[in-house]
Structure 1
C-alpha cells in the first residue's frame, strides 16, 4: 500500500483507488485506441464499474483524461495554507508549487506527461484544458485574495497570479516537448529556470 493511501479511512482509500483506476485505464485506452474511438462504456467495462460510479468521480471524458492536472491543482489549493503573505507573492506561489510537486505520488509524472502528449492531438482536450486553466486561475486569485486580506491591490494580485500560471504552463510545455526529460526533477528544474526568466521577459524587446 502506498504511503499516500495508508493513513486514509478505508472508504476514502477505495474511492481513491477507483479514481486512479479510471484515470490510468482511460489514459491507456485513449493512447492505444484513440480518444474519440474510446467510449465511456468501454472504460467502465474495463475497470468493471458502472457509469454512475464514473460520474461520481469525473464529470466527463475530458475530465478523466486530464485527471493529472486536476490532481496537481487540487493538491496545490490544499497546500495554500502554507502560503507566506509577508513577502513577494510570486515567490510564495512558486514555493507552494515546489512543495506540491514534491508531494505528488511517484506515478504522477508519467500520468502528467501522457496527458500532455494526448492533449496535443485532441482538440476537445485542448479546449477543455484551456477552460480548466481559466477556472483554476480564477480559483487561485480568490484563494490568494482571501489569504491576503483587504489591503491587497486587486490588479497587482491578478497580474501576479496570471504570471505565475503562465510560467507554469511555459515550463510544463517545455518539459513535455523534451519528452519528460529528467522526470520530476527535470520538471522542477524547468519551473525554476522559467520563473527566473520572468524579470527579463517583462522588459523583453519585440
Structure 2
C-alpha cells in the first residue's frame, strides 16, 4: 500500500483508489483511442463504476483528462492554506510550489506529460485548461486573502498571483518542450530560474 493511502480511513482509501483508477484509465483510453472517440460510458465500463460514481469524482470528461493538473493545484492550495503568510508573497508562493512539486507521487511526472501531449491536439481540453487556470488563480487569491495577517490590497494581490501563474506556465512549457529531460528535478530548477527572471522580464524592451 502506498504511503499516502496507509493512514487514511478505509472509505477514503477506496474513494481515492477509484478516483485514481478513473484518471489513469481515462488518460490511457484517450491516448490510445482518441479523446473524441472515447465516451464516458467506455471509461466507466472499463473501470467498472457507474456514471454516478464518476460524477462524484470528476465534473466532466475534460476534468478527468486534466486530473494531473488538478492533483497538483489541489495539493498546492491545501498546503498554502496551512501557511502563516508574511514576507514577500511571490517568493512564498514559489517556495510553496517547490514543496508541493516535491511531494507529488512518483508517477505524477508521467501523467502530467501525457496530459500535456493529449491537450495539444484537443481544442476542448485547451479551452478547459484555460478555464481551470482562471479558477485556480481565483482560488489562490482567496486562499491568500483568508490566510493573510493584515488587510490585502486586492489589486496588487491579483497581479502577484497572475505573475506567479505565468511563471509556472512558462517553466512547465519549457520542461515539456525539452521532453522532460532530467525529470522533476529539472522542472523544479526551471521553476526557480523562471522566477529569478521576473525582475528583468518586467523591464524587458522589445
Q: How does 1:43-58 map to 2 (within 5 A)?
A: 43-58=43-58
* Cα distance, 1:152 vs structure 2: 2.1
* Cα distance, 1:153 vs structure 2: 1.8
- Gap runs ≥5 in structure 2: none
What's the TM-score once normalised by structure 1's chain length?
0.97
Higher RCO (C-alpha under 8 Å, 6+ residues apart): 2
Which secondary structure state, in structure 1, belongs to the residue aligned with residue 181 of structure 2?
coil
Instruction: Give me the CA root mean square deviation.
Output: 1.1
- Tell me the equivalent position of 2:14: 14
Structure 1 Cα separation of the partners of residues 82 and 183 of structure 2: 25
* Cα distance, 1:99 vs structure 2: 0.8
Deviations 1:15-65 (A, max 9, x none): 111100100010001001100000011111111111111111111110000
Structure 2 Cα separation of the partners of residues 27 and 39 of structure 1: 12
- Tell me the equivalent position of 2:180: 180
- Tell me the equivalent position of 2:151: 151
Q: Is the 8 A contact 1:83 1:92 kept in 2?
A: no
What's the TM-score once normalised by structure 2's chain length?
0.97
- Aligned pair count reads 206
Structure 2 Cα separation of the partners of residues 137 and 161 of structure 1: 7
- Tell me the equivalent position of 1:25: 25
Deviations 1:155-176 (A, max 9, x none): 2111100000000111111111
Tell me, yes or no, if structure 1 residue 85 matches structure 2 residue 72: no
- Tell me the equivalent position of 1:98: 98
Q: Is the 8 A contact 2:81 2:143 kept in 1?
A: no
